[in-house]
Structures are given as structure tokens and as C-alpha cells.
Amino acid sequence: MASFADRRKFRGSSYRYPKTKSLGTNKEAIETKKKTANKLNENKNSNSGKDRHFSHPTVMGYPVARGAKEHTGDSLLIKCFKYEAPKTTTSYQYTLSQAEEKMKVGDINLNEGDLMRSKNGQIATTIAPSTFKMVNNGASDQLQNTKYLYYVQLPIPQDINDSNTVTWGDDNLNILQLAGLAVANKALTQDPRVSFDEAKNLLTKGIFEGASALNDNPNVKNAIVAAASGKAIDMMGGNISTNSAIGRATGMALNSNLELLFDSVNLRTFPFSINFSPRTPDESMMVKHIIRAFKSSMAAKKGTSDVGQGGIFLRAPDVFHLRYLHRGKDHPFLNSFKHCALTGMTVNYTNAGTYASYEDGTPVSINMNLTFKELNPIYHEDYDDFEKDDNNGVGF
């Protein structure tokens, strides 16, 4: 199907907007959106307590007005939030303290089992160890109950996907290292006062006594002696590895006990490609506002009224929450998102393959690429809100 640009007469380097009853000619819907946007724009930023200048409406959508069938389709809703830094605190409860022995606090005599009191006679309390826990909220958790700054609703992009990864890494420990770990762990667990040097001496003694008992297999004893000798020389600057010493002495090598172990979690990245083909002046202005909104929100803030490069610190850019919608509600199949940062944005104003614009200068075809990256990783517990046979999609 030919685009509107293909059907208009080329005049100089510009096209005129197509004179057709497009979805963007619903003036009543446009005015309603403008009034709503202006009203929201007058509100103060609840996160900072200061007026925030918006160079765009706080309610935006493309196309400007959708037809009777289009409003029931799928779309991508992007809400913008002021960034909230992660917060780590502690949570605990207090308990009453009791005197462990007969004692005197100030002028107060206490018997064993009596409630502890301060010098002025007040009952003393202490933190109950069993109730102590760390509260580690990521940036995404901090944003759960905050108010959005603005939102943009776009047609659902093509080529949408999600990719979940975690990092597993190769790890190896030979039998001497495993034995040392076991001995040190047991010694320190049974008596925390045991030093690492004492644990090491215990390990050395155990290894050589065990090697002496293996009379039926002298190669094992020779290998352990060679390993210890290699380590001793290595400490003197000889740079002899354990396996090198054992290999030369016995022709064997320590079993590395190679295993794949979980290492870390990863953050997900979501690229989106959006095409704009403005059909009316109102729709042209809306596309301009959408591009401007994303550009301004992903920029760092100087945080001061200073000119130039600003003050000592920079404030973080805004962040976003993305949702796939189906008939105005969360999509029943597609993936969910945690809050994201907009890490990359490119706009191609010659998406038609050559530069062509309407009479007001608006390019006839624009492509906007956005790259979002989640603020926090996905954990197993994030799926606790999902139930069997629910309508909540595939999850994160």
C-alpha cells in the first residue's frame, strides 16, 4: 500500500499533509487530550516538591486519535518517573533485658533475672537478635508507590522479544584446597577463636599423617610430598605450580574437581523501533513532543541553577516503566517489565530513504529507536504474584 507521501505532488522539497479524514482529525478528542495534559502539567512534582518545567504534554499518544477498531488493539505504554536511589536499611525489634547476675546499677540493686534498668531507673531494652534483618530495596522497589511524571502510548512495536540470562562460571578446587577449606571451616565453626594459622597447621599435620598411612600406594605419598615441596619453593620465589611438582615426581596431576557454579544475575535490555508517519499538523506536533520527552528525560540533570556545566554533582535521568496493553489492560500473554533506564535513543528523520517533509517542515517518515535496560535483575520471588491458569502473561 502506497504511503500518503507517494500520493502527494512533490513541491520543491516538501509535501503537503494529505487532505483525508485520518484518525488525527478528531478535534474533540484532541482538545480533550490537550486539556487533560495541561491540567496535569500544572501539578507540582510530588517527588521533589518543586515545579518542574515540561516542554511537552504529560499525556501523549500516537496516533493522536484512534479509530473505533484501533482502540481495542495492542499497545505499548511507557510511563516516566523521577529516579529514586536504592535504599538499604535494617529492621529489628526491641526486647527487655534481664540481669545475668546480682549487680548494682547506680543506686539500684538488681538480682539475677531482674529487669535491667538504667541509672535513672528506666527499664532497659536491647535489640532482639532473632528479629534483626537487612532491608535491601532496589531502585525498582523504591518506585512502586511514586507518581508518574508523564506517559506515552504507542502502537505495539514489531519484533518484540525478551531474553533472560544468568551467569554460571567454571570453578575448580583440588583435594588439598578442599581439605583445607573443610578443616578451616570445621575448626572455626566449633571454636571461633581458632586462628587461620592453627587451622593450616592442623591441615598439614592431617595430610602427612594420612599420607604415611597409605603404605600400599606410595605414589600418593610422593605426590603430596611433591606438592608441599613445590609450594615451599614457590614461596621462595620459584614459581613452581602444584601440578608441575606432582607431574615431575609421579606423572600424575591433582583432580581439579571442575564444576559449573552459579556466579551472578544479569540485567535485561529491551530495544524498540517505532515508526512515525504524521498525517495532520496535530499529529506532527504530537510526534515532536514524544521525541522531545524521551530526549529530555534520558538527559542527566545538573541539579542546580548554575549555568554551564553545573555544580559538583549530577542527578540521575528519569526512569521508565513499560507495559504491554491489550484492550486497555495488561497484556494476557506478553512479558512484564521492571522499571528501566533509557540508555540509548536514535532518531532517523529520513526513514523514507530520502529527505522529504510536509509544508511545515515535518519529515514524512520518522524512525525512533529506544533501548531500555532494567534497573534490577529478575528473581524467582518476582513470580510469587503469578498463579496457575491466571491471565497475567508469561511473567518477566
**pLDDT at residue 27, rounded to an integer:** 43
Q: What rounded mean pLDDT belongs to the chain?
A: 76
Please determine, for residue 297, whether its predicted confidence score (pLDDT) is greater than 80.
yes
The pLDDT of residue 20 is 37
3-state secondary structure of 178: helix
Q: Which amino acid is at 42?
A: E
Q: 117: which DSSP letter?
A: B
Looking at the chain, the whole-number percentage of residues with pLDDT higher than 90 is 35
Domain boundaries, the chain: 4-85+139-164+267-383, 93-131, 173-257
> Which of the two residues, 157 and 255, has the higher pLDDT score?
157
pLDDT higher at 387 or 182? 387
- Tens-place pLDDT, residues 155-202: 999 889 999 999 999 988 877 677 767 766 766 666 655 555 665 665
Q: Which of 54-68, 291-305, 371-385 has the lowest mean pLDDT?
A: 54-68
For residue 222, what is the DSSP state? H
Alpha carbon dihedral 255, 259, 263, 268, in 10-degree steps, equals: 140
Residue 71 or residue 187, greater confidence: 187
Cell numbers found for residue 358 = 510536509
Q: Which residue has the higher pLDDT, 173 or 153?
A: 153
DSSP bridge partners of 231: none
Q: To the nearest 10°, the Cα dihedral for 49, 33, 346, 350?
A: -150
The answer to whether 365 touches 351, Cβ cutoff 8 Å, is yes
Whole-number Å distance between alpha carbons of 225 and 214: 13
pTM of the model: 0.71
Report the candidate in 318, 271, 314, 322 with the shortest Cα–Cα distance to residue 294. 318
Pairing of strands 150-155, 74-81: antiparallel
The DSSP-derived string for 264-288 is EE---EEEEEEEE---SHHHHHHHH
